[in-house]
Amino acid sequence: MSTFLLLHGACHGGWCWDDVGAHLAGAGHRVVAPDLPCDDLGAGLDQYAAVADLAVGDAGDDLVVVGHSLGALTAAVVASRRPVRRLVFVAGIIGAPGKSLQDLAEVDTDRDGALAEGDIEMDAEGRFRFTAAGAARALYHDCPADVAAGAARRLRFQRSMWTEKAPFDAWPDVEIASVLCRDDRVVHPAWTRRTSVERLGVEPIELDGGHSPMLSRPAELAEVLLSPP
């Protein structure tokens, strides 16, 4: 039995992994999908990783850490601090050891999909959240309508992680996989294809569909997570 630690991206919660988790649990594995403190203005990568670490508890050395989108930053921190068998980025915002997203801005100009007017809203504290229209267009365009609407209603405000430096000096010495979504409107597939090779030294695993395969294609994503390298 493996333990799968499933880490959500910006504005989401552990709920977005429910269907993938059901497939993994059905295959006999333990699943942990915590809510990261994305709306806490005082929480950075160290606090995110601490929440994840506490949630997973003792998993021995058969731990698979999966980070979706912005959750890739936290996943890498967790894998740098405890025994992990496999680290998987799903439509991941792949950072670099010792660097912040701000530090990488000049080399990552081709990473982000274009946002339309009204896709994002800000609160008085400077946190952001996808609007219902923005979520439907950018995050969930290939999801069933009821799934997309339900997910959009649960989105939380997200504190910016722009200046958070990865608190490790080298990628953890574990198996790393990168899952690319061919119709991703948030993280450009071409950027993921290039960065997976240049930063991680791996060819990406390609899936059809958009940025949120855990909601649009949970069985396919679970199969990728369960498949040997």
Beta strand 205-207 pairing with 175-181? parallel
Residue 229 pLDDT exceeds 80: no
Convert the pLDDT of each residue in 34-90 to its tens digit: 999 999 999 999 999 999 999 999 998 899 999 999 999 999 999 999 999 999 999
Q: What is the pTM of this model?
A: 0.98
Nearest residue to 121 via CA among 130, 113, 112: 130
Angstrom distance (rounded) from CA 149 to CA 229? 34
Residue 168 pLDDT exceeds 80: yes
CATH class, range 3-226: alpha beta
Query: What letters, b where the CB count within 10 A reaches 16 and e where it falls short, cover 202-220?
Result: eebbebebbbbbbbbbbeb
Q: Where are the domains of the chain?
A: 3-226
End-to-end CA distance of the chain: 17
Return all residues near 124 (Cβ < 8 A) that are at least 6 apart: none
